[in-house]
Structure 1
Amino acid sequence: MNLVLTTASVPDGEKLAYWRDALSTALVPMTVATRGDGPFSGRISTARLGHLRVSAIEADPQRTSRTPRHIAQAPADYIAIGVQTAGTATLVQDGRHAGASEGDLVVYDTTRPYSLDYPEPFSTRIVRMPRRAVGLPEEDLRRVTGTAISATEGFAALLVSFLTALTTSVPACSPSVAARLADGVVDLFATLVEERTRGRGEQAAGAHKHLVLRIRDHIDRNLGDPALTPQTVAAAHHISVRYLHRLFEGEGITVARLIQQRRLHECARELGRPDAPTRTVSAVAQRWGFANPAHFSRVFRAAYGRSPREWVRAGSFT
């Protein structure tokens, strides 16, 4: 861990304020109320891992709260996963009350008010992920935030094991390795979310199918934009590229290939019309998003077995 913050050497009268600032630095701004009358003790180790922040916390009983005032004054768009490694916790968010025991996961959203109550000395491991990195639909995230998940439930066991090992001692590694580890955490979390939303049966499947149809329609409406890529498609639908690719795993085609296929189809249709000789091949290619004429000719021949000019002469579109 890169940073260790502890109340050990802080005067008793200043411990609570110090601890509140420590948690706000490592996690997000919040209030802290201690339980009990004796001196308070707390320790937090925190470090960055790619686009994640991972923290290990050990402390005396307390209640932490993120209020609307905190959200207004210090917006923080994160999804947080906590692994309860000792003691118990109660998470309250969106009207849900979720109790977590040792080994359980809690998931919450820092853009909405929440509280975490620890009634006894505890330790927890928290991973904070930017929402843009998670890239899951809001309706899916809402099904898991404000909840506790038992480590005995399906995919959660693997995620708990991985997060506990990772947050106990963040490895010293290169930025590229750290980025891959962070992506691995996000992938594991996304898989857990999908596992739990699939439990909704046809409702979840229908939502995914609807999203795929929206994405296909978006691609068709923007074929002429040479900047149309999986990255821009994902951004337009507020999901990650990783999640976009996962959506299309059952479609039998990648998003990049679909964009090229639809562009080629429209070019072939236009070049095969009776009045096609009045248009230049490069103008048609550019109209449908191909910025490089030589590249267009290569991929057209690969798809249709003829060059664009041969296609025009043959009037071949069917």
Structure 2
Amino acid sequence: MLEHWSSSEVDPSIRLDYWRDVAHNWVDVQPLSPGDALEASWSLLRGENCFFGTKRSTAYEMRTSPRHVPPGEDMVVISLLEAGEMRLNAAPGEHQHATAGMLGLYAPRQEACYHWGEGARQTYVALPRSVVLAALGREPGNLLLTPQRCALAPALAAQLAHLGLLARQPGRVSAVEYAGLLDATRALALLTLRNLGRQGEAADLPDLEENLHAGRHAAALRFMEQHAHRQGLDAAVIARGAGCSRTRLYEAFAAQGQTVMGALRELRLQRARAFVEHSPRLHVGALSWRCGFADPSDFSKLFRARFGLSPTEWHRRVWMEPALRRGA
């Protein structure tokens, strides 16, 4: 049976709770901007031993952990990102940046933080972890399924995309046909996992260059975290702090889909947001200097571009609006 849900059918005050119940009962979900109303749509096709879903929403954060997984619902998700972007462990040091067209294997039991970008559309099939373990031959983890890792990944991605399109156009396919398509998707997913297990032992082992990139990337991030307050921090200083040349530093960040200064800017902005949310009083000039931004005006523009509000507006939303509502 195909089920549909849209945030437009639910009062804004309870949308997030309802979204958790119907689409994310295995995880903790929060909007990226406090107080923002959730806009989302979701379709689900249930089978006896798997289910398929396709959803699209405004930006939000999702945290996974074993404590969020209900008894008897230990599932693993194979997900195709059809639109937008998703960052896994979205903080300094993040190790996955998925963009449209990428296929991934995700285990809700693993501790992780996902940031879904504005308008991201995910189409996925969920299978019991025990079934995935048997097909894969090892414990499943969070992994991008590239053609280099798994020869059948493009075939499964195409299947998920087409089934997602049909699910968003109710009436074109009968219940019997949906059941057959779901069975076929499950069979192809298991075939893909077996192929991944057979190919993956060698493909998953990073080569020496990947190890060197990962080490330099981690060292640079640690140096950034310690010195992010310094206004003169640039790629040359960071490279010296990480013990490598600027060329190797750029290569290490490019291997993660990042730029050096982009990662530093993100670290500083996340730190600034944390300060805003935990400080009863706000002085934008002092905050910008404390977080490594020399110009308060530039800092405010970057903060707004990243989070949708200025530092002052964010502080007001976090600290003043709840107090006003309580006093009303």
Q: Under TM normalisation by the shorter chain, which class is it? A: 0.5 to 0.7
What is the CA–CA distance in structure 1 between the aligned matches of 2:123 and 2:103, rounded to whole Å? 10
What is the CA–CA distance in structure 1 between the aligned matches of 2:29 and 2:65, rounded to whole Å? 11
What is the CA–CA distance in structure 1 between the aligned matches of 2:130 and 2:143, rounded to whole Å? 21
1:148/1:12 Cα in 2 relative to 1: closer, same or farther (>3 Å)?
A: same
What is the CA–CA distance in structure 2 between the aligned matches of 1:59 and 1:188, rounded to whole Å? 28
> What do the CA deviations read for 1:37-62 (whole angstroms, capped 9, x no partner)?
54320111001245211000110000
Aligned twin of 1:159: 156
Identify which range, 128-137 or 97-106, moves more after superposition. Answer: 128-137
Runs of 4+ in 1 over 6 A off after TM superposition: none
Q: For residue 187 of structure 1, what is the amino acid of its counterpart?
A: L
Aligned twin of 1:8: 8
> What do the CA deviations read for 1:153-202 (whole angstroms, capped 9, x no partner)?
6432222112212233255327677545422321123213422224368x
What is the percentage of aligned positions where both structures have the same residue? 18
> What do the CA deviations read for 1:7-38 (whole angstroms, capped 9, x no partner)?
112122111111111213xxx42211112354
User: SS state of the match for residue 196, structure 1?
Assistant: helix
Matched-pair contact (CA < 8 Å) for 2:80–2:123: yes
User: SS state of the match for residue 185, structure 1?
Assistant: helix
User: SS state of the match for residue 39, structure 1?
Assistant: coil
What is the CA–CA distance in structure 2 between the aligned matches of 1:138 and 1:69, rounded to whole Å? 24
What is the CA–CA distance in structure 2 between the aligned matches of 1:78 and 1:146, rounded to whole Å? 13
Aligned twin of 1:110: 108
1:152/1:88 Cα in 2 relative to 1: closer, same or farther (>3 Å)?
A: farther
Aligned twin of 1:32: 29
What is the CA–CA distance in structure 2 between the aligned matches of 1:120 and 1:15, rounded to whole Å? 17
- Return the offset for 1:113: 2.8
**Matched ranges for 1:1-318 at <5 A:** 2-24=2-24, 28-36=25-33, 37-71=35-69, 74=71, 76-92=73-89, 97-136=95-134, 140-142=138-140, 145-150=141-146, 154-169=151-166, 172-173=175-176, 178-199=182-203
1:75/1:67 Cα in 2 relative to 1: closer, same or farther (>3 Å)?
A: farther
Q: Which has the larger radius of gyration?
A: 1
Aligned twin of 1:258: none
Q: For residue 62 of structure 1, what is the amino acid of its counterpart?
A: Y
* Structure 1 vs Structure 2 CA RMSD: 3.0
Aligned residues: 194
1:184/1:45 Cα in 2 relative to 1: closer, same or farther (>3 Å)?
A: same
What is the CA–CA distance in structure 2 between the aligned matches of 1:138 and 1:195, rounded to whole Å? 10
Q: For residue 190 of structure 1, what is the amino acid of its counterpart?
A: R
Aligned twin of 1:313: none
Q: For residue 149 of structure 1, what is the amino acid of its counterpart?
A: L
What is the CA–CA distance in structure 1 between the aligned matches of 2:82 and 2:15, rounded to whole Å? 23
1:18/1:181 Cα in 2 relative to 1: closer, same or farther (>3 Å)?
A: closer
Matched-pair contact (CA < 8 Å) for 1:104–1:151: no
Matched-pair contact (CA < 8 Å) for 2:52–2:126: yes
Aligned twin of 1:283: none
Matched-pair contact (CA < 8 Å) for 2:26–2:108: no
Matched-pair contact (CA < 8 Å) for 1:15–1:40: yes
| TM-score, structure 1 as length reference | 0.53
Matched-pair contact (CA < 8 Å) for 1:88–1:118: yes
Matched-pair contact (CA < 8 Å) for 1:97–1:146: no
| TM-score, structure 2 as length reference | 0.51
What is the CA–CA distance in structure 1 between the aligned matches of 2:126 and 2:142, rounded to whole Å? 15
What is the CA–CA distance in structure 1 between the aligned matches of 2:80 and 2:61, rounded to whole Å? 17
* Unmatched tracts of structure 1, length 5 or more: 202-318
What is the CA–CA distance in structure 2 between the aligned matches of 1:193 and 1:90, rounded to whole Å? 25
User: SS state of the match for residue 122, structure 2?
Assistant: strand
Matched-pair contact (CA < 8 Å) for 1:83–1:106: yes
1:53/1:181 Cα in 2 relative to 1: closer, same or farther (>3 Å)?
A: same
Aligned twin of 1:261: none
* Unmatched tracts of structure 2, length 5 or more: 168-172, 206-328
User: SS state of the match for residue 21, structure 1?
Assistant: helix
Matched-pair contact (CA < 8 Å) for 1:42–1:57: yes
